[in-house]
A = this chain, B = another copy of it.
Amino acid sequence: MITTTESIVSQGRRARRAGKALAHCSTAQKDRALQNIADALLDNQPAILAANELDIEASREMGLSDSLLDRILITGARLESMAADVRSIAMLPDPVGQVFDMHTRPNGLQVGKKRVPLGVVGSIYENRPNVTIDISALCLKSGNACILRGGKEAVNSNRLLARLVQEAIEDAGIPRDAVQLVGDTDRRLVSAMLQMNDYIDLMIPRGGAGFIRFVSENATMPVVAGGVGVCHTYLDRTASLDMAVDIANNAKTQRPTVCNALDTLLVHAEIAATHLPAVARKWSEVGVEMRCDERAMSLLAPLDGLKLKLAEPEDYGTEFLSLVAGVKIVDSLDEALEHVDAHGSGHSEAIVTEDYSTATRFLEEVDAAAVFVNASTYFCDGAQFGLGAEVGISTQKFHARGPMGLQELTSYKWIILGSGQIRT
């Protein structure tokens, strides 16, 4: 398959047209399309697994690591879970057409806002083929056409999945161009996509920090950047011991490869002697490596069975995505806040405390997409926050911050209902 720059622009033009039609499709029609997609995933399991097997073989030949291969892999169980996610998106309320902030002005004009789709969403992502289904489904429900460009490692899987989605939505009367895959994985097409601000209204890059920065700096359309999480959990002077252990353990070890996992544990000096060894022992059960400042090291070094290293300065700004954590003892809330401000990425930050004023200050002063009191940062997720699903987690302040669900894929227009009013 050869996709020239010209043909990707033609994809954009077709997406724009399909998006205009999709914007006015009924909720019932969009939900029917989503149910069709879920059915198609299950009905075509053998073909999907076969296409995925081609990707896995090619990736293995390219020498990809087991963890990367696992990201590309589709299994029967994963396919069922993808289908279930699509059905749950069908169950969510349709954001399009919602009218809000409607009120009557002194002159009798009724003024309010009506929610509308953004238009065409572009997404460039790396290996996981389920992203093809997730973003298609969220865009469909929110009335947006989408142009997807997945990584070359999953190209066979993505091509088949995109074709199944197109057939499924066409069966529901939605133009197949509303979901398009850039099936050619030539890297030059990424640059071409980033120039298409006439046809793409929002770009969602998903991948590593360097890739997201490249997209942010080169895209001509708005970009929602996110994904990089350097996350702290601060155990305050008044933190309950049990809660501190549970939360630090959950945030670090439940799923260490995700962006909302704990990266650095900050511990107030007054409780360090009790709380830090307790967390360390719990972490040692799964082999967490702790990169400690000198005070933490001298507290923990006498204990057996811990993986300890002295922290290098750069450890405190690192997203580990693995069973590694920075550890630092601080003397005050102020020192904790300064550390978070200096080293956090504005993603998810937590405090464990029993002190009301301390909790209030932490909530007020920490500048991050999600600020937690007495809960694990691992909760930072669209489904957990009640959005049903997410296209990603924004660490920027513009348009949407934190988990982005259906509503965050919409804009609004002002609607003004008059009875002949003029302005003098």
Contact = CB atoms under 8 A, between A and B. Distances in A.
Contacts of A116: 367, 397
B420 A374 contact: yes
Interface residues of A, number: 62
Contact of A363 (B114, B202, B240, B254): B114
A415 B105 CA distance: 33
A385 to B, nearest CB: 5
Interface stretch (A160-168, A242-250, A295-303): A242-250
Most chain B CB neighbours (cut-off 10 Å) among A217, A220, A367: A367
B423 A376 contact: yes
A412 B407 CA distance: 15
Interface string A353-397: 000000000011101111111111011100011100000000011
B368 A417 contact: no
Interface string A401-424: 111000000011111111111111
Contact of A247 (B240, B403, B420, B424): B420
Contact of A397 (B119, B254, B371, B414): B119
B118 A398 contact: yes
Contact of A111 (B243, B386, B422): B386
Interface string A211-237: 000000100101000000000000000
B379 A247 contact: no
A251 to B, nearest CB: 8
A399 interface: yes
Contacts of A378: 422-423
A372 B247 contact: no
A196 interface: no
A24 interface: yes
Given A105-B384, A370-B416, A422 B201 contact: no
A103 interface: yes
Contacts of A413: 367-371, 401-402
B254 A373 contact: no
B414 A369 contact: yes
A109 interface: yes
Nearest to A397: B411
Contacts of A372: 416, 418
Contact of A399 (B119, B385, B399): B399
Given A114-B363, A217-B220, A220-B217, A401 B376 contact: no
Contacts of A379: 109, 416, 421, 423
Contacts of A375: 109, 416-422
A361 to B, nearest CB: 10
22 contacts: A105-B385, A105-B386, A111-B385, A116-B367, A118-B397, A202-B398, A222-B222, A242-B420, A249-B422, A250-B422, A368-B413, A370-B413, A371-B415, A373-B415, A373-B416, A373-B417, A374-B421, A375-B416, A380-B414, A384-B423, A398-B399, A402-B413
Given A109-B375, A222-B398, A403-B414, 19 more contacts: A201-B398, A202-B398, A217-B220, A222-B399, A240-B420, A243-B420, A246-B420, A247-B422, A254-B422, A370-B415, A370-B416, A372-B418, A375-B417, A375-B419, A376-B421, A378-B423, A379-B421, A397-B411, A399-B399
